[in-house]
Amino acid sequence: AKSQGLGSAVEFSQDIGLQVRERSHLLRDLRMAFDESQLFLTYQPKVELATGRVVGAEALLRWRRDDGYLVPPDRFIPVAEQSGLIVGMGSWLLQIALLALQRFRAAGFPNMHMAVNVSPVQLRQTGFLAVVQETLRQTQSEASALEIEITESVAVGGLEPVIEILTRLREMGSTVAIDDFGTGYSSLSYLERLPADRLKIDRSFVQSLERDDHGSRIARTIIALGRELGLTIVAEGVENETVGRLVTALGCAEAQGYHYGRPMSEEQFLEWLQVHQK
Ligand code: C2E
Ligand code: CA
Ligand code: CA
Ligand code: CA
């Protein structure tokens, strides 16, 4: 039993060595990808459930390697966050996303907003607000055209500075969405204390509504809580009409998901808008 224990300890440290090496390769490749324009954005529509009208889009980052392989964001974004690369990437993609929004708005959707995912490191970076203001000015966008999506992990490292930044963003006229609530180290008090406009219900909870299992009770509870706090509730990952009806009945005002539209290139999104004009 003793040698077995030692053996698995050796294996374990080899695993970690492998992970560290993979990570550093990934980071090297990611820096190169950023320099060589292998990164691009896709846009997913967000619709108002009562009318089916498009209210906004969420910008989702993509990395297509030279060999055509799409690296999943869940793999490379943590590496970008830990290395700090996310800060530069985040400023770049904010500009791209707001320029795309100008085109969407000009195509007959003048009230659409663009939601951009912002990592905790990026949000806490000194100068974040200045970058946002400068980018809004450069792209001639109204502050209200921009929504910042944050996750509850922003709370790690202290809530006070985060509350300050989010308050300033909202004073400027931008909106804030809390993403993936309930999937991490949630605290109900974060939900109450974070200055926000929207609450996005993670697709794992949304999809469980159809199965009516444990997750669906969590979904119902989070929706009820969010409504109580006066937040606009957005259901994520709606893949069929049944779930669309369920979330509407539970009081979600807006939804995103393959049932309405997948993440699309800027050109595809413009075409999608024409077809879905209401
Ligand atoms: P998220 O912000 O929760 O984004 C929603 C994810 O759900 C996206 O995955 C989207 O493609 C996917 N999705 C949307 N509708 C459906 C559906 O109906 N069914 C299913 N199965 N999936 C759906 P994606 O694009 O792979 O992004 C994964 C995560 O990566 C995002 O989760 C976000 O946390 C992060 N991410 C993506 N882009 C950025 C970015 O620009 N900056 C930062 N900081 N994070 C980003
Ligand atoms: Ca998001
Ligand atoms: Ca989410
Ligand atoms: Ca997520």
Which protein residues touch ligand 1 with a CB less than 6 Å away?
A: 44, 59-61, 72-74, 77, 93, 117, 119, 179-180, 203, 236-239, 256-258, 263
Would you say the ipTM is above 0.90? Answer: yes
Ligand 1 mutation pick, 44, 60, 124, 238, max ligand atoms within 8 A of CB: 60
Q: Tell me the average pLDDT across 59-63.
A: 97
Ligand 3 mean position, distance from CA 236 (Å) = 6
What's the CA gap between 92 and 273, in Å, rounded? 25
User: How many CB atoms lie under 10 A from the CB of residue 207?
Assistant: 20
Q: Tell me the average pLDDT across 84-105.
A: 97
Pairing assessment for the beta strands 146-151 and 54-64 based on DSSP bridges: unpaired
What's the CA gap between 262 and 52, in Å, rounded? 15
Ligand 3 mean position, distance from CA 200 (Å) = 6
What's the CA gap between 208 and 68, in Å, rounded? 33
Ligand 4 mean position, distance from CA 8 (Å) = 33
User: How many CB atoms lie under 10 A from the CB of residue 229?
Assistant: 14
What's the CA gap between 172 and 141, in Å, rounded? 12
Q: What is the DSSP string of 47-99?
A: EETTT--EEEEEEEEEEE-TTS-EE-HHHHHHHHHHHSHHHHHHHHHHHHHHH
The per-residue pLDDT for range 248-276, each reduced to its tens digit, is 999 999 999 999 999 999 999 999 999 98
* Residue 96 contacts residue 107 (beta carbons within 8 Å): no
Report which protein residue has its CA nearest ligand 1's atom 15: 257
pLDDT recorded at residue 254 = 98
